Structure 1
Amino acid sequence: MDIQTKSFQDLTNQELYQILQLRAEVFVVEQNCVYQDMDGKDFKALHVMGLNKNELVAYTRIFKGGDYMDHASIGRVVVGKSGRQGGYGKEIMLASIKAIKDNFRETTIHLSAQSYLQKFYNDLGFTAVGETYLEDDIPHVLMVKE
């Protein structure tokens, strides 16, 4: 998988379209969750894209501390259905962690994880903090990597 990290301003129209298409495909259609994906935060984020043969198969957006959460954070973690058995989730997360260190020089990272993925994030060094909560009617938990 080829990893690219870009600011919102550096995304091409085609890249932005692919990002929004993948997020809608998984978060809205597949998870049957009607919510406002375009939340105005994309402008501040760095966008970490995982491409396989020029097709977006995995994605996250990352923030420096204070732009979304108090500490650096990773959000909108998504892997398309066709790429879920190929290790793309782990690969995009490792690239996102590295991008936070390289771009923001921060080592504490927060994310709001869907509860059923807690073990996946534990395996990457994240620890659950606090109780489960509902975000868009889906159980989530705050996770932190020090």
Structure 2
Amino acid sequence: MPQRKARRRACPTKCFGYTADCHTERYGKMLLHCSPCNNQQSFFHACGHRSCHRCQHHDTVKWLERQTQKLLPVDYFMVTFSLPYQLRVLVWHHQKSLYSVLFDCAVSTLKQFGVNDKNLGSEVAMTARQCQNHVTSDTNTIEGFFAHFTKSKKACACLQTLW
């Protein structure tokens, strides 16, 4: 396990190094020279790292705009399903089967909630994601293991009338 932990932490450390040196001499510079006035200006190159807020801000904004255009004209909700800490050891040793059960129960619960709820009274659509990278402590031990599921559900009340 220590090797895995070291490998996992190397990426954020490397990423920080790239972004901290963005627009510095590390990535070289461009020298602009104006012949008529003999003026010179130098600009340092960007790191171009995907996590750099200076390099990727414009691309991120464009991506968010594209994603927003894809949204359906319905209300969106986020629901999180978590397991109690008493089950951590059991889940740690049987992750595949127990996460599958949790997933099935979460989907079933949301579907039943959508049909039975006074306000919704319809079928709910959902996307689901398993978040494995949430660790509550610095150690990668069973005691520090934490996982949850997030359901992002789209409440579609009369699909036929909207589209």
State TM-score, norm by structure 1.
0.23
Where is the helix percentage greater, Structure 1 or Structure 2? 2
State TM-score, norm by structure 2.
0.21
Where is the strand percentage greater, Structure 1 or Structure 2? 1
Instruction: Point out the structure with max Rg over C-alpha.
Output: 2
